[in-house]
């Protein structure tokens, strides 16, 4: 299994059809797993797709429309029954705790773990999560209610030390950290050993961006630039321009245009309206602009 992948748990839009559940994805970045959005039935999909449910400690909710968060109470209730003890963090608009808190407290009264609602300001791009290796920042979007996308980036990685060479130059072990950070080594007699003699470049810092739901919004491009993989909603086809304007969603072509402008590695599109009975025209419309596009069908696992 790849260390960097996203699994689509639900790809449907608000009034989903028979095959698709509502929005939810599990992002795996190295050993970490994050849940992004939690539409109804997310706990069912997590089991169906054999995800490590208890390994998820942080959930990121893009906005408070039912199809992006109504799976939270059931998921939290099941986590309790599964014996979870580690605290759970839910990053969302401040209203989430107000509208769902009482219900969660009622149905999950016996939960043996702490549930922490962490609110973010949906109007400013900001870092809302950071650990030793990964940083998550918000991407304010344009929708009918306050909405944010999320960018997950591995932090700058250290260079790889050639330990045998370092030993042969008698570099003190205390200086290894400096080598990994790119410093040259100066021997006691003043000779400079260039860093790239002793180290090789760090491995790639992976990145993923999740953009849903939003009208076409070019100003997000700098925030998601060069990510390895971008999920961007594509609720409609370009021909449906009336609906696109009215509902503040994007077309497949608009998602692809953003992907191209942001120079991302690959694009995943989903959240197609149930008005359409095939995802093929979406893929065709997007690929004409950004060829490396994939469909977010439920159950799809995409590596990056």
- Binding stretches for a second copy (CB under 8 A): 14-18, 21-22, 40-41, 43-44, 47-48, 64-67, 70-71, 73-74, 77-78, 81-82, 95, 98-100, 102-103, 106-108
Find the shortest distance in angstroms from Cβ 44 to a second copy: 6
Report the nearest approach of a second copy to the CB of residue 300 (Å): 18
Per DSSP, the residues of the chain read --SEEEEEEE-B-SS--SS--BSEEEEEETTEEEEEEE-TTHHHHHHHTT--GGGEEEEE-----HHHHTTHHHHHHHHHHTT--S-EEEEE-THHHHHHHHHHHHHTTT-SS-EEEEE--TTS--EEEE-SSEEEEEEE--SSS--EEEEEEEPPPPPEE-HHHHHHTT--GGGHHHHHTT--EE-TTS-EE-HHHHEEPPPP--EEEEE-S-S--GGGHHHHTT-SEEEEE--B-GGGHHHHHHHT--BHHHHHHHHHHTT-SEEEEE-B-TT-S-SHHHHHHHHTT-SSEEE--TT-EEE-
Closer residue to a second copy, CB minimum distance, 44 or 289? 44
Least distance to a second copy from the beta carbon of 45, Å? 10
d(CA 29, CA 272): 26
Minimum distance from residue 21 beta carbon to a second copy (Å) = 7
Question: Which residue, 82 or 280, is less far from a second copy as judged by CB?
Answer: 82
Shorter beta-carbon distance to a second copy: residue 107 or 113: 107
Least distance between a second copy and beta carbon 100 (Å): 6
* Residue whose CB is less far from a second copy, 77 or 135: 77
From the list 37, 67, 213, 228, the catalytic residue is 67
User: Is 240 marked active-site?
Assistant: no
Nearer to a second copy, 108 or 286 (CB): 108
Q: Which positions are catalytic? A: 67
């Amino acid at each position: 299994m790849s260390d960097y992948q996203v699994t689509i748990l639900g790809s449907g839009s608000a009034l989903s059809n028979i095959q698709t559940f509502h929005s939810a994805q599990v992002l795996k970045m190295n050993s970490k797993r994050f849940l992004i959005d939690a539409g109804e039935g997310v706990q069912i999909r997590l089991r169906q797709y054999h995800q490590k449910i208890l390994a998820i400690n942080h959930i990121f909710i893009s906005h408070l429309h039912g199809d992006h968060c109504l799976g939270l109470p059931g998921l939290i209730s099941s986590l309790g029954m599964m014996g979870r003890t580690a605290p759970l963090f839910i990053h969302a608009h401040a209203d989430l705790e107000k509208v769902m808190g009482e219900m969660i407290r009622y149905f999950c009264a016996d939960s043996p773990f702490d549930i922490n609602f962490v609110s973010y300001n949906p109007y400013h791009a900001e870092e809302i999560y950071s650990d030793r290796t990964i940083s998550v920042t918000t991407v304010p979007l344009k929708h009918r209610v306050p909405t944010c996308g999320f960018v997950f980036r591995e932090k700058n990685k250290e260079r790889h030390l050639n330990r045998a060479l370092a030993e042969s130059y008698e570099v003190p072990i205390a200086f290894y950290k400096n080598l990994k950070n790119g410093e040259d080594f100066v021997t006691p007699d003043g000779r400079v050993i260039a860093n790239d003699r002793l180290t090789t470049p760090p491995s790639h810092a992976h990145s993923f961006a999740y953009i849903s739901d939003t009208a076409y919004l070019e100003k997000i491009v700098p925030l998601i630039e060069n990510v390895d993989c971008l999920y961007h909603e594509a609720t409609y086809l370009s021909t449906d321009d009336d609906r696109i304007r009215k509902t503040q969603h994007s077309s497949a072509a608009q998602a692809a245009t953003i992907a191209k402008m942001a120079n991302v590695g690959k694009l995943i599109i989903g959240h197609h309206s149930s008005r359409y009975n095939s995802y093929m025209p979406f893929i065709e419309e997007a690929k004409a602009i950004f060829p490396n596009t994939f469909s977010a069908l439920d159950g799809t696992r995409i590596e990056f």
